[in-house]
Chains A and B, each alone.
Chain A
Amino acid sequence: MATKEKSKISKEVLLDLHRRMVRIRLLEEAAGRLASEAKIPGFIHLYVGEEAVAAGGCVALTEEDQITSTHRGHGHLVAKGGLFKPMMAEFMGRATGYCKGKGGSMHISDLDLGMLGANGIVGAGVPHAVGAAFANKYRKNNLVTMAFFGDGATNIGAFHEAANMACALHLPVIFMCENNEYAEYTPRDRVMAITDVADRAVAYGMPGVIVDGMDVVAVYEAAKAAVERARNGEGPSMIECKTYRFYNHAGVNAFGTPYRTDEEVREWMERDPVKLFEAQLELAKVLTTEEAQAIHNEIQGEVDEAIEYAEASPMPDPLTDMLTDVYTEAS
């Protein structure tokens, strides 16, 4: 973060970026612990390491703007304003969860927050972002839609179809790529002949920029420019955030795997986006170490409360809940 650029961003925004990142980190670390204790059933895809992307992207949006998400969606929902209690309850399959226990971690969402859903099918959410952006343009409401997706998703047909359609129809979409260098457990260079996903943008007719995905300010500034473009009717943009997933594709292990080296993981952890930003904020006299710690403590308290709430929440009832919400009943 160059000092010159930083000065353009208000303290309020800097603290907002920080808070959203810490919220994601602490919720995810707790979710990881609970998953390893088998208190969270099913698959879990942790967002730890990629916080700057969701936070930087969502701070550039208004509350009314929409996002679409991925199988790694906890961070996106938190960044869009998701509350811990219904999130934790959903992770644990409780009736009080955001999805009434019917979606779980992989389908976490809150449409009322403009978070149109985490998705178990890689790339499948991207066309929905195009549809939401179409609705925004149709209604002339000046809102925009941001599609989060990984580098792996840019190899699937739905992504290409959606990117082309968004550009052809000139829709207010921001394509926000989290390039964490691995498509599940396969290194990017085994499945893509290009290094930079952003190179693909030109093929559809939109600008593509590359930013350091561990630098939340860099992400925010790129997102802000793309959002502005979209709002001004200048069409879609793509942002490629170079980032890293601290844990495995699924589960809570970071080290000792055959698909990436521990050394590489440690190098990226040295560039922990939360720690990097806190160091920058301290240097810029925006936030002291003590103040940062107080924020962590406050948010950790909220996480702990959410765990208590979730554990005390009822499970859905097979007799009454199985068949509800399959269809919308006629009003």
Chain B
Amino acid sequence: MAVTETETEERVIRYNEAFTETLQELMREDPDIFIAGEDVGRYGGVFQSFAGLNAEFGDERVVDTPIAEQAIIGLGIGAAAMGLRPIVDLMFMDFVMVAMDQIANQAAKMKYMYGGKASLPLTITTTAGAGLGAAAQHSQSLEAWLIHVPGLKVVYPSNAYDLKGLLVSCVRDDNPTIITLHKKMLGSKAHVPEGLYEIPLGVANIVRPGTDVTVVAIGKMVDEAKKAADILSEEGIDIEIIDPRSLLPFDTETVVQSAKKTNRIVIVHEAVRNGGIGAEIAAQIQEEAFDYLDAPIARVGAPFSPVPFSPALEMSYVPSAESIIEGVRGVLHRIA
């Protein structure tokens, strides 16, 4: 294979590898970090996201747990309250519901309820997203449920580079954080430097500057938005893509500035539209930039049904470049 010298300079690795490598580098740096979750030890995780970590760090630091999501999060809470820096894994984001009391009633509220004394440097890792034929209970994106809870931080990286920087920030944060990987992106590649670096939580990334329409895209939808941008640019439509990266805290400022520039907004996420994070983002934009808008804010999301199994249904269920283009055309169609 022809590889030029300039190409080899930039190390390109997979999203999933970036995750594993970041954990490895963090654990080498900080002995207070341990990992616990279902299948994360001996087997290396159902997506091999934890491969090799048990072999390097041992059963004490990479812990196979029972299938017991409440106790997994609770284990993290108790250990974090004692000053360790646990990383606990919920294999699928759908399992958040099983552990919701521990996440929302316990981890998120402990600092406040106990008068500020409890700092919980707890990181929850999980995987979201449809497209694998995993059906209704292994495919959801439930970020909207989590951003409703004061005390949590919620992060959804859209590429391997961001994944590393955001994961480092999550693990080093003294609050409970949830970082969501997208299952369909595990094999996607990007330039990822060796060594640890942080991407601050609450700072959005302007993935593609543009002038005509702002597309706020979350997780894997950033890739779909890029595809849409390429197609639309051939027609002379120039969209600006913003990846919030962190959903809580949310970088309202960057999105509002973009809205004031383009005057037209499309928000795209993989979760169902109803009660999705798009509704919150739209509300924030109209609060801050109502007078700048030339069209109603459009939301692109999944239809209001559980994630279907059959590929024929699922392919149409998940928002795509095509549905984003449709959304963009919708807001452009309106002439102020």
B74 touches A124 (CB 8 A): yes
27 contacts between A and B (CB under 8 A): A98-B114, A99-B113, A102-B112, A103-B113, A109-B115, A111-B117, A117-B110, A119-B106, A121-B105, A127-B74, A130-B75, A131-B75, A131-B78, A131-B79, A131-B86, A132-B78, A132-B79, A134-B79, A135-B84, A157-B70, A158-B74, A161-B66, A162-B68, A162-B70, A327-B153, A327-B175, A328-B174
Task: Find chain A residues with CB under 8 A from B80 CB.
Answer: 131
Within the complex, the shortest CB–CB distance from B120 to chain A, in Å, comes to 8
- Is A320 an interface residue when CB atoms closer than 8 A count as contact? no
- Chain B residues numbered 61-81 whose CB sits less than 8 Å from any CB in chain A: 63, 65-66, 68-81
A116 touches B78 (CB 8 A): yes
A169 touches B63 (CB 8 A): yes
- Is B189 an interface residue when CB atoms closer than 8 A count as contact? no
A127 touches B114 (CB 8 A): no
Cα-based distance from A244 to B69 in the complex (angstroms): 32
- Is B150 an interface residue when CB atoms closer than 8 A count as contact? yes
- Is B34 an interface residue when CB atoms closer than 8 A count as contact? yes
Given contacts A161-B70, A162-B71, A169-B63, is CB(A135)–CB(B112) below 8 Å? Answer: no
A135 touches B70 (CB 8 A): no
Binary interface encoding of chain B residues 76-101 relative to chain A, with 1 for a CB under 8 A from any of its CBs, else 0: 11111111101000000000000001
Within the complex, the shortest CB–CB distance from A115 to chain B, in Å, comes to 9
Interface residue ranges, A against B (CB under 8 Å): 66, 68, 90, 97-103, 107, 109-112, 116-117, 119-121, 124, 126-136, 138-139, 145, 157-158, 161-162, 164-165, 168-169, 324-328, 330-331
In the complex, which residue of chain B has the Cβ closest to the Cβ of A163? B71
Give the contacting residue for B151; candidates A103, A134, A164, A327; CB below 8 A.
Answer: A327
Task: Find chain A residues with CB under 8 A from B174 CB.
Answer: 328, 330-331
B81 touches A128 (CB 8 A): yes
Task: Find chain B residues with CB under 8 A from A124 CB.
Answer: 74, 101-102, 105-106
Give the contacting residue for A107; candidates B63, B114, B153, B173; CB below 8 A.
Answer: B114
Cα-based distance from A99 to B174 in the complex (angstroms): 19
Within the complex, the shortest CB–CB distance from B16 to chain A, in Å, comes to 27
Task: Find the residue from B76, B113, B119, B175 having the highest chain A CB count within 10 A.
Answer: B113
Task: Find chain A residues with CB under 8 A from B63 CB.
Answer: 169
Give the contacting residue for B111; candidates A116, A161, A168, A326; CB below 8 A.
Answer: A326
Task: Find the residue from A90, A327, A330 having the highest chain B CB count within 10 A.
Answer: A327
Given contacts A124-B106, A127-B71, is CB(A117)–CB(B78) below 8 Å? Answer: no
A126 touches B74 (CB 8 A): yes
- Chain B residues numbered 135-181 whose CB sits less than 8 Å from any CB in chain A: 150-151, 153, 173-175
Interface residue ranges, B against A (CB under 8 Å): 34, 60, 63, 65-66, 68-84, 86, 101-102, 105-106, 110-120, 150-151, 153, 173-175
A131 touches B111 (CB 8 A): no
B78 touches A109 (CB 8 A): no
In the complex, which residue of chain B has the Cβ closest to the Cβ of A116? B81
Within the complex, the shortest CB–CB distance from B75 to chain A, in Å, comes to 4
Task: Find chain B residues with CB under 8 A from A325 CB.
Answer: 111-112, 115-116
Cα-based distance from A145 to B78 in the complex (angstroms): 10
Cα-based distance from A157 to B71 in the complex (angstroms): 9
Within the complex, the shortest CB–CB distance from A80 to chain B, in Å, comes to 14
A136 touches B71 (CB 8 A): no
B75 touches A165 (CB 8 A): yes
Cα-based distance from A130 to B71 in the complex (angstroms): 8
Q: Name the 7 nearest CB pairs between A and B, nearest first.
A: A131-B78, A127-B74, A99-B115, A161-B71, A135-B82, A161-B68, A325-B116
B106 touches A128 (CB 8 A): yes
Task: Find chain A residues with CB under 8 A from B65 CB.
Answer: 165, 168-169
Given contacts A99-B114, A103-B113, A134-B75, is CB(A127)–CB(B66) below 8 Å? Answer: no
Cα-based distance from A119 to B153 in the complex (angstroms): 22
In the complex, which residue of chain B has the Cβ closest to the Cβ of A134? B79
A66 touches B111 (CB 8 A): no
Within the complex, the shortest CB–CB distance from B275 to chain A, in Å, comes to 23
B118 touches A128 (CB 8 A): no
Task: Find chain B residues with CB under 8 A from A165 CB.
Answer: 65-66, 68, 71-72, 75
Within the complex, the shortest CB–CB distance from B55 to chain A, in Å, comes to 19
In the complex, which residue of chain A has the Cβ closest to the Cβ of B74? A127
Task: Find chain B residues with CB under 8 A from A169 CB.
Answer: 63, 65
Cα-based distance from A69 to B310 in the complex (angstroms): 47
Given contacts A117-B110, A136-B82, is CB(A131)–CB(B76) below 8 Å? Answer: yes
Within the complex, the shortest CB–CB distance from B184 to chain A, in Å, comes to 30
Task: Find chain B residues with CB under 8 A from A112 CB.
Answer: 117
Cα-based distance from A225 to B257 in the complex (angstroms): 65
Task: Find chain A residues with CB under 8 A from B106 CB.
Answer: 119, 121, 124, 128
